Amino acid sequence: MRVLHVETGRHLYGGALQVAYLVRGLAARGIENLLVCPAGSAISGEGFPEGVEVMALPMSGDADLAFVWRLKRIIRRFHPDVVHLHSRRGADWLGGLAASLSGVPAVLSRRVSNPESRMFVGMKYRLFDRVIAISTAIHHGLIDSDVPGEKIRMVHSAVPRPDPMVRWDRDRLLAEFGLPAGSRLVGMAAQFIPRKGHDVLLAAVPKVLSRCPDTRFLVFGRGPLEEKVRQEVQSGGLADYVRLAGFRSDLPSYIGCFDVLAHPARDEGLGVILLQACAAGVPVVATPVGGIPEIVQDRVNGLMVEPGDAEGLARALIQLLEAKDMRIRFGRAGRDLVETEFSVEKMVDGNLAVYRELAT
């Protein structure tokens, strides 16, 4: 079987990372993959194994109508059994149009839960033979938007099992970011966009410090609100306690050093960072929005607080920071959950089953 994948993300964020896991897993099962991605994107330099060809193209988003013809020529040359479209901007409807014009079945992965206009949905989703939702919340959203249920399949996102030989070096992490030895660590990793809730975390920081003054906050990511958050850290007198660490492709090697991961999102399709934290045995404080409750189970592997509730976030963080036995118990439960429900093998099998429906 041959599968042509289209991923338009320029950075190795959650969605692009899932594509990398997927094509590697498919190649290990003997599937031929062609990955079409933007020139200069992080995923184009990933160094994939045999069975994965990478083709970097100019891509300019939804208005780049010429992308339809560029992709159509590639489809004609590669002769895929299925075209799998992994991104929104510039990949979904343009890619669906190219696949339709080429007579090849198209699959769209839907990774976000924000609503779409019903009129747009009616035109767009008829281009796709299957739509893969990465969470139950997204599945329900598609149904509510009148996407035909017979087109929808659910396949959860996934993370690899951590290497059992890896030992998290907290002292090295503290030294790298100039944090005091013995600090308790709260991590957050998310794009700097409004729905991720950085403002809620910053409002919670002084309340946490009033009870746990040795706590430090490491915030990973980049995005349009990064400079605004940086200014708020400075103006709020929090620079000694909050570090903005930028985007790190090696983030999984740090996560196990956190005492707690904070994820105060206002909306979330699923949340790969939550899976990474659980896989590393780190308890999570999060919000019951989107697909998050499919990962974070309140008082099992983390604590839930309401979106926008800085007081509640602070209380939950303090509770976990002060209770090592609870952190250990939640961490074990998180690892078990990832192992059984969110393994890369299960994710690859789920996508492959969808392809086989269309390639027969």
DSSP conformation letters of 73-126:
HHHHHH--SEEEE--STTTHHHHHHHHHHHT--EEEEE-------HHHHHHHGG
For residue 146, being part of any structural domain is answered with yes
Instruction: Please tell me the number of Cα atoms within 13 Å of 98 on its side-chain side.
Output: 30
- Are 358 and 130 a contacting pair, CB within 8 Å? yes
Q: According to DSSP H, which parts of 187-303 are helical?
A: 198-211, 226-235, 252-255, 272-279
Give the mean model confidence (pLDDT) for residues 213-231: 96
Round the CA-based radius of gyration of the chain to a whole number and report it.
Answer: 21
pLDDT at 163: 65
For residue 163, being part of any structural domain is answered with no
Residues of the chain with pLDDT > 90: what percent?
79
pLDDT digits (tens, 9 = 90+) for 134-179: 999 999 999 998 999 999 999 999 999 876 555 668 888 899 999 9
Longest dimension (CA), the chain: 63
Q: Which two tokens stand for residue 356?
A: 């086989």
Residues of the chain with pLDDT > 70: what percent?
98
For residue 164, being part of any structural domain is answered with no
Query: Looking at the structure, do residues 181 and 99 belong to the same domain, yes or no?
Result: no
Q: What contacts 324, CB < 8 A, 6 or more positions away?
A: none
pLDDT at 130: 97
CATH at residue 29: 3.40.50.2000
Query: Looking at the structure, do residues 228 and 93 belong to the same domain, yes or no?
Result: no
pLDDT at 251: 84
Ordered strands of the 302-304 beta sheet: 242-246, 215-220, 184-189, 260-263, 284-286, 302-304
Query: Looking at the structure, do residues 211 and 116 belong to the same domain, yes or no?
Result: no
Query: Looking at the structure, do residues 99 and 185 belong to the same domain, yes or no?
Result: no
Query: Looking at the structure, do residues 292 and 197 belong to the same domain, yes or no?
Result: yes
Q: Which helix (H) or strand (E) holds 259?
A: none
Give the mean model confidence (pLDDT) for residues 211-226: 96
Give the mean model confidence (pLDDT) for residues 270-281: 93
pLDDT at 244: 96
Query: Looking at the structure, do residues 136 and 54 belong to the same domain, yes or no?
Result: yes
Domain count, the chain: 2
How would residue 5 be classed by pLDDT, with cut points 50, 70 and 90?
very high
Q: How many CB atoms lie within 10 A of CB 208?
A: 25
Ordered strands of the 152-154 beta sheet: 52-57, 32-38, 2-6, 82-85, 106-110, 130-133, 152-154
For residue 193, being part of any structural domain is answered with yes
For residue 13, being part of any structural domain is answered with yes
Higher-pLDDT residue of 14, 158: 158
Query: Looking at the structure, do residues 269 and 174 belong to the same domain, yes or no?
Result: yes
Closest C-alpha among 270, 335, 332, 284 to residue 17: 270
Query: Looking at the structure, do residues 149 and 188 belong to the same domain, yes or no?
Result: no
CA distance 79 to 297: 44
For residue 327, being part of any structural domain is answered with yes
How would residue 308 be classed by pLDDT, with cut points 50, 70 and 90?
very high
pLDDT at 250: 81
pLDDT of 306 over the 60 cut: yes
pLDDT digits (tens, 9 = 90+) for 184-218: 999 999 999 999 999 999 999 999 999 999 999 99
How confident is the prediction for the chain on average, in pLDDT?
Answer: 93
pLDDT of 2 over the 70 cut: yes
Query: Looking at the structure, do residues 13 and 137 belong to the same domain, yes or no?
Result: yes
Q: What contacts 298, CB < 8 A, 6 or more positions away?
A: 288, 304
pLDDT at 167: 63
CA distance 58 to 335: 40
CA distance 218 to 330: 21
Q: Buried (b) or exposed (e) across 68-82, using 16+ Cβ within 10 A?
A: bebbbebbeebebbb
Q: Buried (b) or exposed (e) across 154-165, using 16+ Cβ within 10 A?
A: bbbbbbbebeee
Q: How many CB atoms lie within 10 A of CB 95?
A: 28
Q: Which domain holds residue 259?
A: 170-341
CA distance 203 to 73: 52
pLDDT digits (tens, 9 = 90+) for 127-138: 999 999 999 999
Query: Looking at the structure, do residues 214 and 277 belong to the same domain, yes or no?
Result: yes
CA distance 285 to 314: 10
- Are 155 and 347 a contacting pair, CB within 8 Å? yes
pLDDT of 6 over the 90 cut: yes
Q: Which two tokens stand for residue 151?
A: 């087109």
Query: Looking at the structure, do residues 134 and 279 belong to the same domain, yes or no?
Result: no
- What does pTM read for this prediction? 0.89
pLDDT digits (tens, 9 = 90+) for 19-49: 999 999 999 999 999 999 998 899 998 889 9
For residue 290, being part of any structural domain is answered with yes
pLDDT at 248: 86
Query: Looking at the structure, do residues 336 and 349 belong to the same domain, yes or no?
Result: no
Flag the least confident range among 101-110, 111-120, 251-260, 291-300. Answer: 111-120
For residue 186, being part of any structural domain is answered with yes
pLDDT of 117 over the 80 cut: no
